[in-house]
Amino acid sequence: MSDPRPAGPLGPPLPMARPRPMGAPREGTARPAGVPAVVDCAVYVDGHREPPVDPGEALAAAAERGGFVWLGLFEPTEDELGRIAERYGLHPLAVEDAVYAHQRPKLERYDDDLFMVLKTATYVEHEELTSTSEVVGTGEVMVFLGRDYVITVRHGEHGDLADLRHRMEEQRDLLCLGPAAVLYAVADLVVDAFVEVVAAMQDDVDELEASVFSPQRTDDIGRLYQLKRELMSLRRAVAPLEVPLAKLAERPVQVVPDAMRSYFRDVQDHAIRVRDQLGALDELLSSILQASLARTSMADNEDMRRISAWAGIIAVPTAIAGIYGMNFEYIPELRWRYGYFLVLAVIAVTCVLLYRGFKRNGWL
């Protein structure tokens, strides 16, 4: 069936996505077949969402009405984003990064436009932390920011921006500040998610700490290493974000109004707080890991002492039986009627004395 919408001045209209129910699962990490790349497209004028407009004509409509376009994309292909790049004049290097993802958080400036990459994170629920548990799930959100447009490109199964768009549409004063307000809202959403993930990981750290210092003998080294790896994954998403946020908060940028700097400064403060919390968690995990290794070493030493003590006790009857088993004719008390019972008594008394000595010294 042909698309009933008219073609835009720069080519055929882009396919629009049907609304997806909140919380509906996605299969795999790639966009499912048949799902359009364009999640939503709207023109905002004076904080109001204008009537629906074709994505191909949205930029011209925004320029004519004195507003801006917010185009939301989900895992677009190279061809799909290439068509959009022609219409919006996006830089080829930024387009390449947005298509193939797997970028570290950064802020790039191309002429008067900005391209920002943010790592998203979510806490993966699990009944019990194991040495192979996935604790932190990560994705990416790329933002193209121009004078009269903002394009968000999402990669990953989480980090949906639909709720964010609805909340923004209820805050007209913020939307009136232009496309930079959307960039702020996305960055704030990402950092707030970091805060929630860190709080959830704190519970895992507390559980591991209690397990390591519990009276029962446990082996938590594998779980500790796994949690440290997941923590490192989260730190790679948080730490590089400070520099881009500092640039937006402190340096004059043409597409970012001065009124927005205080907003980005607030997000920067939250990111620094998350960084400090992650550093504290990492140090705590290192201390717990050292304590677990020390406890394991002490348990091994106790086992070795216990084995050595029993080996010393067993050596007595073994030695005596070995001597009297050599079948020499002239062995003391060999032909005495009570010699057998005497040897048994000597073995028993010696073993008891050794047992008491080892018990007193804490070897048994």
Rg (CA), the chain: 34
CATH of domain 301-360: 1.20.58.340
List strand residue ranges (DSSP E) for 101-184, in order.
Answer: 106-110, 113-123, 136-145, 149-155
* pLDDT score, position 34: 56
The pLDDT assigned to 29 comes to 45
Question: β-pairing, 149-155 with 68-74?
Answer: parallel
Tell me the β-bridge partners of 120: 139
- The secondary structure element, H or E, covering residue 44 is strand 38-45
H or E element that contains 167: helix 162-169
Sign of CA dihedral 172, 156, 122, 272: negative
In what side-by-side order are the strands of the sheet with 106-110?
Answer: 48-49, 38-45, 68-74, 149-155, 136-145, 113-123, 106-110
For residue 299, which amino acid is it?
A
Looking at the chain, which residues constitute the CATH 3.30.460.20 domain(s)? 38-295
Write out pLDDT tens, residues 71-102: 999 999 889 899 999 999 999 999 999 998 88
CATH 3.30.460.20 fits 38-295, yes or no: yes
Question: Two tokens at 329?
Answer: 């004719």
Give the alpha-carbon dihedral of 98, 141, 280, 291, to 10 degrees: -70
- d(CA 153, CA 158) in angstroms, rounded, equals 12
Instruction: Return the pLDDT at 187.
Output: 95
Every domain of the chain with CATH number 1.20.58.340 lies at 301-360
* Ranges under pLDDT 50 in the chain: 1-29
pLDDT of residue 31: 60
Complete DSSP assignment for 186-230 = HHHHHHHHHHHHHHHHHHHHHHHHHHHTSSS----HHHHHHHHHH
